[in-house]
Copies of this chain bind each other. A is one copy, B any other.
Amino acid sequence: MTIYKYKDTGLLRKLCSIHAPSGEESAMKDFLLAYISENQHRWKTRPEIIEGEDLHDCIMLRFGSPRTAVFAHMDSIGFTVRYHDQLVAIGGPDTDGPHLLVGEDPLGPVECCLRTTPEGHLFYDFPRAIETGTSLVYKCNFRVTKDYITSCYLDNRLGVYNALKLAETLEDGLIIFSTYEEHGGGSVPFLAKIMVEKYNVRQALISDITWITDGVVPGKGVVISLRDRNIPRKTYLQKILSAAVGSGLPHQLEVEGAGSSDGRELQQSPYAIDWCFIGAAEQNVHSPDEKVHRADIDSMIDMYKYLMKHL
């Protein structure tokens, strides 16, 4: 019987339940700053913490002399309340089903049901009007079985969890918690500026969650994405693949024509930055039931620990 290595599902459960759709990442920022403050004394290296109004709700952690940066986006998909009983999507949420949504407006907590018309228009069912501009997210139903974790927002709270596990032993590297990834981006440009101009780091790994496909199966290891809508530079991919093989850790390769990540904005930044998306794959993408195999979580964390040493 498999014993999984990273067992503190309580932290992951907590992360998955934080209300932080794109534009409202401050709750994630607050949680992470408190978590770092409480836990860094147990970490091998104490990081410099870079945050403040110049970074909006983003956080950067510098460990030692960084050569590579890990990006993990904090925001999630969700919905904005319009008027009448209309909703507008934040990012690309799954709208196929009467999903439970939660949020809060000045009149108090909200728990309502998503309703989608055949034409794709989105509404909420709730006994009273919800204030215009209120954001709603999936209600978190976090489930752990022997081999799987199922929850909303494993994309990308699992990427954040991976970064926090990595932080425990990291000696040299940047960990960057970004915002707005699910909805148009906008924080990576200023994060990249600091990363290059202040820390002279030009290599990045994107700690994010990808998809189970006909070439990627659950339990076979973390996925190294050779491309999605964007194409990383071949020389960097080869460096990573060679290290991944050297690690002896299980991993899978993906090649996609669609999908995107914080890597896109690194690619388009005014700096020559190499990037690669590496993350566990999930089923039921962008739904309340995102499902990841626990072996792939172990593999993801171990691969990041290895790569951050060897790149």
Contacts and interface: CB of A to CB of B under 8 A. Distances in A.
22 contacts: A26-B235, A53-B202, A56-B274, A82-B215, A82-B255, A83-B253, A88-B227, A89-B257, A132-B255, A133-B226, A133-B255, A135-B234, A180-B231, A184-B229, A185-B267, A189-B268, A189-B269, A190-B269, A190-B270, A190-B271, A192-B270, A270-B270
Interface residues of A, number: 59
B132 A268 contact: no
Nearest to A214: B84
Interface SS majority for chain A = loop
Contacts of A53: 202, 272
List of 4 A-B pairs having minimum Cβ-Cβ separation, nearest first: A83-B215, A189-B270, A23-B231, A186-B267
Contact of A270 (B82, B84, B193, B202): B193
Task: Report the copy number of this chain in the oligomer.
Answer: 3
Contacts of A24: 234
Interface in A191-208: 192-193, 202
Interface of A: 22-24, 26, 53-58, 80-84, 86, 88-90, 132-133, 135, 180, 183-187, 189-190, 192-193, 202, 214-215, 226-227, 229-235, 237, 241, 253, 255-257, 264-265, 267-272, 274
